[in-house]
Each structure stands twice: as structure tokens, then as C-alpha cells.
Amino acid sequence: MSIITRLSRTGKHEKIEFVLKLVDRILAGDDIFDDRVLLMDTIEEMYRILRQLALNSKDENLLTAFEKMAILRYSLQTENVFDRKTLSDIKPFLLNTLKERSSTI
């Protein structure tokens, strides 16, 4: 495997791990995320990262995670409803993606 693809893979890895940790932090119920703008911004950030990763991917887990994040983002932006359940549902899909990735590297 060329060094370039391996590097880009680790880039992906880093991004997914980052999103996972962010999900954890939001789910931990910390009051820092009581700020609606910060919450929205953080969701937006995760949405963008996943979108970028999902666009060129055939990874079912990643696509599902992105889909759920998109739904979450939509309901937050349009109805101002934050659905914790959807956010926690995203976790296993991201974990699976990481697992499959590390097994192929």
C-alpha cells in the first residue's frame, strides 16, 4: 500500500476518532454545551467532517452515521430540537467503521 493512501487513511481515522470523542463529550451532559450556538456549531462541525468522509465512501457504517448526523442537524436547525437518542445511535456505527478500518490497514 502506498504511503499516500495510508496517510490519508490515518487522516480519516483521526477525523472519526475526533467525532467519536465529541459525541462522548456532548452525551456526557456537560453544561458547556447548554449554549445552543456552541452545540449547533459542534454538530455542524461533525456533520461537515462526516459528510466529507461519506461522500467518497462505500462504507455502510459511515454512511449510516452521516445520515443520522444529517437528521440530527436538520431537527436542531429547523425545529430547535436536540435529539440525544439519535446522537448516541451514531456511536456504534462510527466504532464499527474504525474497527473495519484498522483491520484493513
Q: Are 20 and 61 in contact (CB under 8 A)?
A: no
CA dihedral 67, 70, 76, 81 (to 10 degrees): -10
60 binds another protein, rule: CB under 8 A: no
Contact pick of 1, 4, 37, 55 for another protein (by CB under 8 A): 37
Q: Which is nearer to another protein, 17 or 60 (CB)?
A: 17
Q: Are 49 and 19 in contact (CB under 8 A)?
A: yes
Q: Which is nearer to another protein, 20 or 72 (CB)?
A: 20
Q: Which is nearer to another protein, 31 or 58 (CB)?
A: 31
Site residue total, another protein (CB under 8 A) = 16
Contact pick of 9, 42, 70, 100 for another protein (by CB under 8 A): 42
**Cell numbers at 71, concatenated:** 437528521
15 binds another protein, rule: CB under 8 A: yes
**Cell numbers at 72, concatenated:** 440530527
Task: Give 8-11's long-range contacts (Cβ < 8 A, gap of 24+).
Answer: 9/101, 9/105, 10/105
Question: Which spans of this chain sit near another protein (rule: CB under 8 A)?
Answer: 14-15, 17-18, 21-22, 25, 30, 32, 35, 37-38, 41-42, 45, 49
